[in-house]
Structure 1
Amino acid sequence: MTTEVRVPTLGESVTEATVATWFKQPGEAVAVDEMLCELETDKVTVEVPSPVAGKLVEHVAATGETVGPNALLATIEEGAGASAAPKAAAPVEAAP
């Protein structure tokens, strides 16, 4: 099943945002709540998490593109090569 990733509610007076950065690329596996992209407005920067685990199919909105409220950002194919949660970074041991 394909899930749409849309611009979240940004605030009452915010009417548009710019896609600043994509953290995941099409074809990559994503976990639930893993950050997909970052949106910038004149007031706030918002990270957009994945609503489902699966494979990122496409970026509908490109980096630098201006998007409105509830605009389509990306699509995810649920369950395709997904993990249940983001992988934690390996612990780093301090040098003696």
Structure 2
Amino acid sequence: MATPILVPHLGSADQKLKVSLWLSRVGEQVLAGDRVVELLIPGITFDVESPCSGTIISCDCQPGAEVCEGSVLGWIDEMKPDPSAELE
């Protein structure tokens, strides 16, 4: 199941947000909470965390792209839980 990486609510609706750089690449495994992309707000940077564990399958917004709160930055193929792990 693909899960979107979204621009979170930052309280900056009146300011322009730009994608600075991707900290993870397509095909890379990430864990929930890992920093995956950096956004720029005039004067500060903000890291967006992975919403789930899995594999980055697309980086839709390239560095320099303007985005707004709620925009889809990319997608993660969510890692399915290992049922055998529950038996331990």
TM score, norm. by length of structure 2: 0.83
> Can you give the 5+ residue segments of structure 2 that lack an aligned partner in the other structure?
81-88
Q: Which has more strand, going by share of residues? A: 2
Give aligned-pair identity as a percent. 29
Alignment of 1:1-96 (within 5 A): 1-79=1-79
| 1:41 partner amino acid | I
Q: Which runs of 5+ in 1 are unaligned?
A: 81-96
Paired residue total: 80
CA RMSD of aligned residues (A): 1.5
Q: Distance in 2 between matches of 1:48 and 1:71?
A: 12
Give the conservation status (yes or no) of the 8 Å contact 1:16–1:69.
no
Query: Counting helix residues as a fraction of each chain, which structure ranks higher?
Result: 2
Partner of 2:85: none
TM-score (normalizing by structure 1):
0.76
- AA of the residue aligned to 1:53: S
CA contact (8 A) 1:37 1:47 kept: yes
- What secondary structure does 1:10 align onto? coil
